[in-house]
Chain A
Amino acid sequence: MEEVDKKDINDLLKWKKIKPEVPELTGNISVPEIKLWASLDYKSQLLKQKDALKRLGLPSDGLVPDWKNKFLAKMGEMLKKYRSVRLFMDICVRCGACADKCHYFLGTKDPLNMPVARQELMRRVYRRYFTISGRLFGSRLGSADELDEEMLALWYTYFYQCSECRRCSVFCPYGIDTAEITMAAREILNSVGLVQKYTYEIVDKAQNIGNNLGMVPDAIVNSIEFVQDDLKEQTGIDIKIPIDEVGAEVLFVTPSADFFASPHIESLYGYAKVFHQAGISWTMSTYASEGGNFGLFSHNYNQMKIINKRIWDAAKELKVKRVVCGECGHMWRVLSSFSNTMWGPFDWLDQRYPAPQHICEFTLDLINSGAIKLDKTANDDLTVTFHDSCQVARGSELGGKIDGQFEIPRALIRECVNRFVDMHEDTIREKTYCCGAGQGLLGDDMLPLRVKGAMPRMQALKRVKDSHDVNFLALICAICKAQMSKIFPLYGYPMEEVGGILQLVSRSIVLRNKEGV
Chain B
Amino acid sequence: MDFRFTDDQLAMRDVVRDFCNEEIAPKAAWRDETHSFEDDLIAKLGSLGLFGTYVPEAYGGSGQDYITYVMTVEELSRACGATGILVSAHHSLCVDPILHFGTEEQKHKYLPKLSSGEWIGCFSLTEPGSGSDAGAARCTAKETGEGWVINGTKNFVTNGREAHVIVLFAVTDPTSKHRMSAFIVEKDTPGCTLGKLETKLGIKASSTAELIFENCVVPHDALLGERGRGLNVALATLDGGRIGVAAQAVGISQAALDFAVDYANTRVQFNQPIGRFQAIQWKLADMATNLAAARTLMYRAAWLKQNKQPYGPEAAMAKLFASEMSNRVTDAAIQVYGGYGYCADYPAERLMRDARITELYEGTSEIQRLVIARKLTQEPAWAAR
Partners in one complex: no
List chain A positions with a Cβ less than 8 A from chain B.
none
